[in-house]
Chain A
Amino acid sequence: MVRSQGGDGAAYGELLRRLNGHLRAYYLRRLGTPADAEDLLQETLIAMHARRATYDPSRPFTAWVHAIARHKLIDHYRRSRRRAEQPLDDADVLFSSQASGAAEAQLDVERLLGQLPERTRRLIRAVKIEGLSTAEAAARHGMSESAVKVSVHRGLKSLGTRVGEEEA
Chain B
Amino acid sequence: MKTDDLIAALSADLAPVPRRAVGRTLAIGLAAGVTISGALMLMWLGLRPDLMPAMATGMFWMKLAYALSIAALGFVLVDRLARPDDDGGAWRWLIFAPLAVMIAMGLYRYFSAPETARMALVMGDSWRVCARNILLLAAPALVGAFWSLRALAPTRLALAGAAAGTLAGAAGTFVYAFHCTESAAPFVAVWYTLGIGAVSLLGALLGRLLLRW
Cross-interface CB contact of A7 among B10, B15, B21, cutoff 8 Å: B15
Q: B7 and A46: CB pair below 8 A?
A: no
Cross-interface CB contact of B83 among A10, A20, A56, A60, cutoff 8 Å: A56
Q: B84 and A71: CB pair below 8 A?
A: yes
Within 8 A of B (CB), among A1-27: 4-10, 12-13, 16-17, 20
**Nearest neighbor of B80 in chain A, beta-carbon distance:** A56
Q: A16 and B7: CB pair below 8 A?
A: yes
**A54 at the A/B interface (Cβ < 8 Å)?**
yes
**B25 at the A/B interface (Cβ < 8 Å)?**
yes
Within 8 A of A (CB), among B2-16: 3-4, 6-8, 10-16
**A128 at the A/B interface (Cβ < 8 Å)?**
no
Query: Given A9-B11, A67-B155, A42–B1 Cβ distance below 8 Å?
Result: yes
Q: A38 and B14: CB pair below 8 A?
A: no
In the complex, which range does the number of interface residues on chain A fall in?
35 or more
Chain B: minimal CB distance from A97 (Å): 18
Q: B83 and A38: CB pair below 8 A?
A: no
**B52 at the A/B interface (Cβ < 8 Å)?**
no
**A75 at the A/B interface (Cβ < 8 Å)?**
yes
Flag A38-60 by CB within 8 Å of B: 1 or 0 each.
10011001110101111110011
For A77, the chain B residues whose CB sits under 8 A away are none
Q: B3 and A20: CB pair below 8 A?
A: yes
Provide the bound-state CA to CA distance between A86 and B6, in Å.
29
Tally A-B pairs: CB < 8 A. Answer: 87
Chain A: minimal CB distance from B3 (Å): 6
Within 8 A of A (CB), among B23-44: 25
Provide the bound-state CA to CA distance between A168 and B153, in Å.
33
B residues with a Cβ closer than 8 A to A are: 1, 3-4, 6-8, 10-18, 21-22, 25, 82-86, 151-153, 155, 212-213
Query: Given A16-B7, A16-B10, A75-B212, A63–B15 Cβ distance below 8 Å?
Result: no
Q: B83 and A49: CB pair below 8 A?
A: no
Flag A68-85 by CB within 8 Å of B: 1 or 0 each.
101100010000000000
Provide the bound-state CA to CA distance between A9 and B48, in Å.
55
Chain A: minimal CB distance from B65 (Å): 29
Chain A: minimal CB distance from B27 (Å): 13
Chain A: minimal CB distance from B12 (Å): 6
Query: Given A9-B11, A47-B213, A54-B152, A68–B84 Cβ distance below 8 Å?
Result: yes
Cross-interface CB contact of A9 among B4, B13, B213, cutoff 8 Å: B13
Interface core residue of B10, B155, B212 (most chain A CB under 10 Å) = B10
**Nearest neighbor of A5 in chain B, beta-carbon distance:** B17
Q: What are 15 A-B contacts defined by CB distance under 8 Å?
A: A5-B16, A6-B17, A13-B10, A16-B10, A41-B3, A46-B6, A49-B10, A52-B17, A53-B21, A53-B22, A54-B82, A63-B85, A64-B83, A67-B84, A75-B212
**A66 at the A/B interface (Cβ < 8 Å)?**
yes
For A59, the chain B residues whose CB sits under 8 A away are 85-86
For B15, the chain A residues whose CB sits under 8 A away are 7
Chain A: minimal CB distance from B85 (Å): 4
